[in-house]
Amino acid sequence: MIPFQHFKQRRLHKNHLNIPFNSKGYYIAGKPTQHSANNFKVTVITPVYNAEKTLRKTLDSVIRQTIGRSNIEYVLVDDGSTDSSRDILLEYSSKFDCIQAVFLKKNTGTPGHPRNIGIQLSTGKYLTFLDADDWLEENGLEILYAVLEKTGDDYAVGKTVQVQSTGTKVVGEHESCMERRSICPFSIPHIFHHLGPRARMIKASVIKENDILFPEMKFAEDKQFFIDVLLHSRKISTTQSTIYYLNRMENQETRLTNQTNILEKANCNLKVIRYIIEKNLETEKEKMILNRLYEFDSISRFFSTPHFYKTRLKFLYYLKFKQVLKTTKRLRYDFSQQFFEPIHLGVYMLFIKRNYRDLEKLLEWNNKEKV
């Protein structure tokens, strides 16, 4: 293994020529001390890409966890950063035995691939995910770990606080509005409406024994992954305790979701829709999952973007939505009867009647009306 000081001098992100990348296209600079029984309580997985402004805060939030560093395996996978992120990872991996810094030979363009490498390298009993610009509550891992150990459940989720320059708000309140123990995930009505990687801990065996991986897409990879996780989780728990802080303090240009246009996102959502339909799930489970993908992603989010109101190329949106509706022909039920919001049914009905003028008026009214 290359010594830290020598490795740093090479400025890894500028010179790959002499770095011993393995046959899988990555190099591990730092290996945590292996415990006698390899008994890490939890593995934290973080994909990194050009996160120099926030990375130290993210790293520190894991290192300072009350569960104790000796119980944490922290795997950070750098996806070809060109800023100083790699130097920061080298620095921390040389100081802390719990950290594995993994460097990819080339950028993959998706957080799915780095997370999958983290899953493959993990040895902890439980897995959790943390993005490189977010941070954890100091006792967040200890809280989720205690819940899972006490209940034997497959999955636990707590409160996420979104931090903005104007203040804070709770994200996905249905996940943390009450203390629940050992319940069926489908008993929570909106459980599939927030499927990001934040504030949740999962039994590693659930993921590994069912070969659950992130699809390597630029967007929506976390939706498909956590849908699969919930489908394979027999019982889950929720807690009101704050676990995770979602950083929205500034316009983070490095976020892939900010670099993906709405039509690209729609293509990714289409892939997830087709993936779910191919599973031939029980009807009630399928309805619940697809409602999120049809109503929330393909209508509410799709037609509410500022670009839709400004563009003269609205027909591109209509062509894409038409592709979405083609997938509903294979369903055993009327998907529009599952909508939560009447306005979404109105948009759908106007679309199938090709009454685009009134559809646009309705959306514009809804965007301005604050009742």
DSSP 13-82: TT--TT----TTSEEE---PPPPTT---SEEEEEEESS-TTTHHHHHHHHHT-TT-GGGEEEEEEE----
Q: How far is CA 22 from the centre of its chain?
A: 27
Residue at 158: amino acid letter: G
Reference 10, options 32, 31, 27; nearest CA is 27
The model's pLDDT over 74-123, given as tens digits with 9 standing for 90+, comes to 999 999 999 999 999 999 999 999 999 999 999 998 999 999 999 999 99
Reference 216, options 301, 119, 306; nearest CA is 119
> Mean pLDDT, to the nearest integer, of 25-37?
68
Q: Which CATH number fits domain 4-248: 3.30.460.10, 3.30.930.10, 3.90.550.10, 3.40.50.1100?
A: 3.90.550.10
27, 135, 251, 253 from 257: Cα distances, Å: 27, 19, 11, 9
Q: Is 129 helix (H, G, I), strand (E, B) or coil?
A: strand
Does residue 243 surpass a pLDDT of 60? yes
The model's pLDDT over 206-229, given as tens digits with 9 standing for 90+, comes to 999 999 999 989 899 999 999 999
pLDDT of residue 20: 84
Residue 348's H or E segment, with its range, is helix 342-352
Burial class (CB in 10 A: 0-12, 13-18, 19+), 83: middle
Mean pLDDT, the chain, as a whole number?
90
**For the chain, what are the domain ranges?**
4-248, 261-368
The model's pLDDT over 228-242, given as tens digits with 9 standing for 90+, comes to 999 999 999 999 999
Detail the DSSP E strand segments found in the chain: 26-28, 42-48, 72-78, 99-104, 126-129, 135-136, 155-164, 167-171, 180-183, 200-203, 236-248
pLDDT of residue 36: 43
Does residue 259 surpass a pLDDT of 60? no
The model's pLDDT over 61-88, given as tens digits with 9 standing for 90+, comes to 999 999 999 999 999 999 999 999 999 9
The model's pLDDT over 281-332, given as tens digits with 9 standing for 90+, comes to 999 999 999 999 999 999 999 998 888 988 999 999 999 999 999 999 999 9
Residue at 134: amino acid letter: D
